[in-house]
Amino acid sequence: MKNVFLFALMLSFLFYGCTNQSQKTEQNQLSEADMQLLETANRYFSLLPEPNDPNTPLTLLGKKLYYEESLSANGQISCNTCHPISTYGVDNLPTSPGHDGSVGTRNSPTTFNAYFHVAQFWDGRSPDLADQAKGPVLNPIEMGLQSATDVEAILKNSPEYSKMFKEAFPDEENPVTFDNFAIAIAEFEGTLATPAAFDAFLEGAVNELDTEQKEGLSLFIETGCIACHIGPGLGGNMMQRFGLVHGPYWDFTGSELKDRGVGDITGKDSDLDIFKSPSLRNIEMTAPYFHDGSIESLEEAIRIMAFTQLGKELNEDQINKMVAFFRSLTGKIPEHAL
């Protein structure tokens, strides 16, 4: 028995030594340029925060609510209508039609990787996903229900929902509430993480990005895009003026509606044209771009942002390299959410 133990111990040391040596060899094989790029990237970006468990009673309830069409005035619209899971949480329309066919004024942003954003909506008026979830269902253009009581009545009329709410909120005597409805949807959206090749790169697997993508990443940093697009989402963590250097923004986007962002809420001149800087995760999949969906092309969006925000004019080669880098931010659609 003692010999067996010693043999197992020797094997474990041998395995650890080989693994450690393999990691050191891989590290030693990195070029100086790759090592410098990796070090720089890790100063500005980070891995996605741990998502929620998709299999809890609360997240399963949230998933069902996300797809629920009865919570709309015409019985045909759900969260998934404007934020389809199968197309990276967006409907790829400039702005989305509501329950009576009326079209909204702002682009429907992706629900993927939104769980760690500093605020929700383009104007940041909601502090978190739970607060945000209460908006569309009562919005007269979007889902069109009249009140929180209407939402609760529909849910209470369903034996299945009554059971699921009880399982999700076991300590509450009357768990079917508007607040809990929003909490459940937010918890489900907290499962919608899409780690990508870029995350593997940040952990040291530099070959997950090809040469063009690495050049695009370098350009992204050197151009100054990191002024607004940093952290795990490469954005989603601050509010910023659109047209910071050159404006107004509509001179460059051709926007028909002059949406003033936060300024329309506060009435302050200092808040005019301020919007949330969007996350660039899955950006190649989420056209059209900007708060009003005014730009269809990712290349054109990059050109506009470089000029309006940084005062820089990028050439075609530089733009193409950034687009290549952005492809490394595209992850897989979470299967559990479909």
Kindly list the catalytic residues. 142
Six token digits for residue 77: 């619209």
- Collapse the DSSP code of 231 into the 3-class scheme (helix H, G, I; strand E, B; otherwise coil) and give the result: strand
Could you tell me whether strands 239-241 and 274-276 are parallel, antiparallel, or unpaired per DSSP bridges? antiparallel
Under 8 Å between Cβ of 105 and 257:
yes
Name the residue among 288, 232, 328 with its Cα closest to residue 87: 288
In angstroms, rounded to a whole number, what is the distance separating the alpha carbons of residues 66 and 58?
A: 12
In angstroms, rounded to a whole number, what is the distance separating the alpha carbons of residues 254 and 337?
A: 36
Name the residue among 314, 145, 305, 294 with its Cα closest to residue 235: 305
Under 8 Å between Cβ of 215 and 321:
yes
Backbone angles phi, psi at 174, to 5 degrees: -125, 80
H helical segments located in the chain: 2-28, 32-44, 57-66, 79-82, 129-138, 148-156, 159-168, 178-189, 197-202, 211-223, 250-253, 262-266, 298-310, 316-327
